[in-house]
Structure 1
């Protein structure tokens, strides 16, 4: 008398494995950038002593984020003054920076000409690099 083994459906097993990996990757990605949407940003409130560079949705929408081959996503800034274009420096995201000063800066929306104020922060990174970063791109440390 022979007993038959249950047949393994390899296609279903492969699909389960692939879906498991996809879930793992999505979870890992959300953990890496978990605080960007919920964080208190430097345009919502004045940050005092330290901040974390972040490519928040507001920062991205206003063209203040970029990428480099070596460091991935970065926050763009200005060496000598606040800049919203023609940036001349950057900080890697998730860098804890010291706040050296803050200046409110009046900007004009290109699409409708409306003016609004935004805080720009003069920050210093642990490696000694310093520059100006828009408040949209700085989060209060947790």
Structure 2
């Protein structure tokens, strides 16, 4: 005797093993949790030393077009609030100002003659507070 099985019931019976495996996987994943030890950065965030430095319109920085003299006669460092870049700057920072290094990124570049190279950029923040901006590494003197 042939029996007609509704399509919905057939589909549900095929998915039941997969649902069971998914539930088992989720239960096992919950059992493999970490211990109670805190992550190193959570133990003592104040113990992490921040690197500091000074912005300087060095000859290399000047040759790369990353600093210059403003209309009012001040020497300034060109910066970008968005990302490391050699052009389309949207901020200027005071020359010889103290900074805190908030991050670093190395970019691959090609020189004017096509020679590949890399350049460091630093995300810097004035020690007195203010927004973080990206500047070319040639404009940063790191404190040792």
TM class by smaller structure: 0.5 to 0.7
How high is the TM-score relative to the length of structure 1? 0.61
Unaligned runs of 5+ in 1: 1-47
Residue number in structure 1 paired with 2:94: 92
Unaligned runs of 5+ in 2: 1-49
Alignment of 1:1-142 (within 5 A): 49-70=51-72, 72-110=74-112, 112-125=113-126, 126-141=128-143
**Rg comparison, structure with higher value:** 2
TM-score (norm 2): 0.60
SS at match of 2:84: coil
The whole-number CA distance in structure 2 between the counterparts of 1:98 and 1:71 is: 25
CA RMSD after TM alignment: 1.6
Aligned residues between the structures: 94
Tell me, what secondary structure is at the counterpart of 1:59?
Answer: helix
Distance 1:70 1:95 in 2: 17
2:92 and 2:62 map into 1 onto residues whose CA distance is 14
Q: Distance in 2 between matches of 1:96 and 1:82?
A: 19
Give yes or no for contact 2:51–2:143 (8 Å, CA) kept in 1.
Answer: no
Aligned-partner Cα distance in 2 for 1:103–1:71: 31
Runs of 4+ with deviation above 2 angstroms: 66-71
Deviations 1:45-80 (A, max 9, x none): xxx601100000100001001222446000111111
Q: Whose helix proportion is higher, 1 or 2?
A: 2
